[in-house]
Structure 1
Amino acid sequence: MFFGTYEGTLTIAYCHPHVQRYRLCLWALALLITTGGCTTTQPSPEVATGECVVLVHGLWRNAWAMQPLANSLRESGFHTVSIDYDSTGKALEAVAKEEMAEAVRQCQTLTSGPVHLVTHSMGGLAARYYLATHALPPGGRVVMLAPPNDGSSVVSHFEGHPLLACLIGSAAAPLSESRPQRLPGATLTTPIGVIAGNNNPSPVPIPFLDSPNDSTVSVASTLLDGMDDFIVLPESHVSIRRSETVHRQIRAFLRQGRFEIDPTTPP
């Protein structure tokens, strides 16, 4: 366990024993590896508007990946709590019951007002598990950024290959196209807005990935039955977390239950 600060925020991190194994396994993808496998909770120390947002990162990432969004939300008056979980070694059901549940509890110590969820990529699937067994406080809403709600065509193509298991571990099952729409929480009562990206900066076409896409998740795969609003923005899978345009749309949905622009017609 170690203590540190990041831009005035106290960070308490607990490292899982799986970290070394994943670093060896993913040596060829070293640039993609951060410190996944540590759990970090970051409550904002600032006085907020009475609303709190739980931020949930995606595959191969950690809480620092959501820091630009956390900063933007805090500047707009929201409390923020960012979770960190072992995205390749821990089942999403367990993440929902443990890290996400604890983050919501921390939000409730900061405010008696609404608690929202904002997720990136596979974090959206973790949120669906959470919402299947937990209710957010009244007024809570969910925004999913580039969620693979209909699975990953790339993961499905290589399903069963030992290298895939090495690279993404326990994430393989929920990311398979045969599974996500059957996950708990596919039909939800909590208001949900989905933001998809259609900017693939790669000059080389990615096999098995339908267009349009954000270089990782296709626009079609982000759709979720029962979602309340949906927009497509010219962002990649990485830039969608950092874009101020996206941040503005997130704030709009959390406050109003709708995005600022007309929903894009699903493909």
Structure 2
Amino acid sequence: MTPNLLRALPAAALAFAAFIPQAAAAPTAPAAGGPDPIVFVHGWNSSGSTWNTMADRFRSDGWPAGRLDQWSYPTSQSNVTTARQLADEIDRVLAATGATKVDLVTHSMGSLSSRYYLKNLGGDSKVDAWVSLAGPNHGTSAAVLCGGAPCAEMRPGSRFLNELNAGDETPGAPRYATWWSPCDGIISPDSSTVALSGAVNTETGCLRHTAFPVDARVYEEVRAHVR
């Protein structure tokens, strides 16, 4: 083989390679599923707007807007009725997002309907983390100042609360956590009202009842719990 031919081989090989079909690129792995959707459950005489500040913080920290559900419901109805409506709402969120579980973040009376859902309506299989901010889990004396079914249910010793708290207070697989303040002013007597056996129970700084959903430190702790 002549020297000129040897020098020509690399160029010829490169030209030939240009006509060889290239192997298909490996498919890009699908994006990891987003975080669990969060369903926010407000308290008595309130609405989903209670959560505007907290939901904005979650969005800023990477939660997609479509996975932050600031649910509203009529607060004059029994917590049992609300729990059934919450069950429908959670099924709707799961279907819309394709997720298998949600996280529940609740304030005040919202703790009660959500706990009823977990204990009595099969919700423990659809919830990963549950949060109670200033929830009257064992009743509050302030409930004597309002009327109607939900207020009667929030009073210490009510049939609703006795049945809700009978046996295991934190049933199933969800990760339960509560937050309470010695300065709440609405939920009393504070820790013994809010805290649940089997939950991670946290005392906050001196927060008034309506400050929980907007407090930055509480948000950081809630975010760490639901991750």
TM-score by length of 1: 0.63
In structure 1, C-alpha distance between the alignment counterparts of 2:124 and 2:164, rounded to whole Å: 19
In the alignment, structure 1 residue 233 sits paired with structure 2 residue 217: no
For the residue of structure 2 that corresponds to 1:66, the secondary structure is helix
Deviations 1:23-82 (A, max 9, x none): xxxxxxxxxxxxxxxxxxxxxxxxx83320000000110111121112122222332112
1:121 maps to a residue whose letter is S
Find 1:69's aligned residue among 48, 51, 54.
54
Q: Give the equivalent residue in structure 2 for 1:140.
A: 128
Name which structure has the greater RCO, CA cutoff 8 Å, separation 6+. 2
The answer as to whether partners of 1:115 and 1:136 remain within 8 angstroms in 2 is: no
Return closer, same or farther for 1:168/1:74 CA change in 2, 3 Å cut-off.
farther
Q: Give the equivalent residue in structure 2 for 1:168.
A: 147
Find 1:97's aligned residue among 84, 93, 106.
84
When structure 1 is superposed on structure 2, of 121-130 and 169-178 the one drifting more is: 169-178
The answer as to whether partners of 2:124 and 2:171 remain within 8 angstroms in 1 is: no
The answer as to whether partners of 1:54 and 1:81 remain within 8 angstroms in 2 is: yes
For the residue of structure 2 that corresponds to 1:198, the secondary structure is coil
1:93 maps to a residue whose letter is V
- List structure 1 segments (4+ residues) > 4 angstroms apart after TM superposition: 136-139
Q: Give the equivalent residue in structure 2 for 1:188.
A: 171
In structure 2, C-alpha distance between the alignment counterparts of 1:59 and 1:115, rounded to whole Å: 22
In structure 2, C-alpha distance between the alignment counterparts of 1:144 and 1:193, rounded to whole Å: 6
Pairwise CA distance, 1:183:
1.4
The answer as to whether partners of 2:108 and 2:134 remain within 8 angstroms in 1 is: yes
Higher-Rg structure is 2
Q: Give the equivalent residue in structure 2 for 1:250.
A: 222
Return closer, same or farther for 1:182/1:226 CA change in 2, 3 Å cut-off.
farther
For the residue of structure 1 that corresponds to 2:53, the secondary structure is helix
Q: Give the equivalent residue in structure 2 for 1:17.
A: none
Q: Where does the alignment leave 5 or more consecutive residues of structure 2 unmatched?
A: 1-32
In structure 2, C-alpha distance between the alignment counterparts of 1:64 and 1:131, rounded to whole Å: 24
Q: Which has the higher helix share?
A: 2
Return closer, same or farther for 1:138/1:154 CA change in 2, 3 Å cut-off.
closer
In the alignment, structure 1 residue 198 sits paired with structure 2 residue 187: no
Return closer, same or farther for 1:138/1:187 CA change in 2, 3 Å cut-off.
closer
Find 1:106's aligned residue among 60, 80, 92.
92
In structure 1, C-alpha distance between the alignment counterparts of 2:175 and 2:162, rounded to whole Å: 17
Return closer, same or farther for 1:113/1:50 CA change in 2, 3 Å cut-off.
farther
Q: Give the equivalent residue in structure 2 for 1:21.
A: none
The answer as to whether partners of 1:52 and 1:113 remain within 8 angstroms in 2 is: no
Pairwise CA distance, 1:139:
6.6
Pairwise CA distance, 1:186:
3.0
Return closer, same or farther for 1:182/1:137 CA change in 2, 3 Å cut-off.
closer
Pairwise CA distance, 1:181:
4.3
For the residue of structure 2 that corresponds to 1:143, the secondary structure is strand
Return closer, same or farther for 1:148/1:141 CA change in 2, 3 Å cut-off.
same
Q: Where does the alignment leave 5 or more consecutive residues of structure 1 unmatched?
A: 1-47, 159-163, 200-213, 256-267
The percent of aligned pairs where both chains have the same amino acid is 24
Q: Give the equivalent residue in structure 2 for 1:27.
A: none
Return closer, same or farther for 1:242/1:110 CA change in 2, 3 Å cut-off.
same
When structure 1 is superposed on structure 2, of 108-117 and 142-151 the one drifting more is: 108-117
In structure 1, C-alpha distance between the alignment counterparts of 2:91 and 2:60, rounded to whole Å: 22
For the residue of structure 1 that corresponds to 2:203, the secondary structure is strand
In the alignment, structure 1 residue 82 sits paired with structure 2 residue 70: yes
For the residue of structure 2 that corresponds to 1:224, the secondary structure is coil
When structure 1 is superposed on structure 2, of 53-62 and 170-179 the one drifting more is: 170-179
